Structure formats: C-alpha cells, structure tokens
C-alpha cells in the first residue's frame, strides 16, 4: 500500500500533487481516487462545504504526519 511522503502546493496553499514512498507522483484528483479505493495508507477523503473533495490524514494524536506538515517537492 502506498504512503504519501511529500506534497506540492499551489499559491493558494492547496495540495496539487503528492509523492508516494516509492517515488511515484500523482495529481490530487488521482490521489483522491486512490484514497477512495483504499490504495493509500493513513488518509481519507473529505468534502468541503462547497462540495469539492479533498484528501486528509486520518485523525491521530500527532500533527507531524498531517499532509500539510510533510516536506514539499
């Protein structure tokens, strides 16, 4: 199962791409689809008030593994 290790964000602070532990890169739409299919470890898909979907870390007791805390690429 893949794990997100790095992220790319745009000027608005939105995650646009993710990099996995195997070096593969996926755009956020692909990552959301993969998360829905349980292909990515420790993430889930949420929905904003406007109805757009986003990917997020599963809740736990640390903020160190929150997606926006991950290194950029």
pLDDT in tens, the chain (73 residues): 999 999 999 999 999 999 999 999 999 999 999 999 999 999 999 999 999 999 999 877 776 668 999 999 9
Q: What was the pLDDT predicted at 50?
A: 94
Domain coordinates of the chain in residue numbers?
Answer: 4-62
Q: For residues 22 and 6, is the Cβ–Cβ distance under 8 A?
A: no
Instruction: Please provide residue 11's backbone torsions phi and psi, each rounded to the nearest 5 degrees.
Output: -65, -25
Q: What was the pLDDT predicted at 41?
A: 96
Give CA separation, 27 vs 22, 54, 60, 63, in Å.
15, 12, 25, 23
Q: What was the pLDDT predicted at 13?
A: 92
């Amino acid at each position: 199962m893949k794990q997100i290790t790095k992220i790319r964000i745009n000027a608005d602070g939105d995650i646009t791409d993710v990099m996995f532990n195997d070096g593969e890169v996926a755009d956020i739409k692909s990552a959301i689809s993969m998360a829905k299919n349980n292909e990515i470890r420790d993430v889930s898909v949420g929905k904003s008030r406007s109805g757009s979907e986003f990917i997020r870390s599963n809740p736990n007791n640390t903020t160190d593994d929150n997606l926006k805390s991950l290194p950029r690429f």
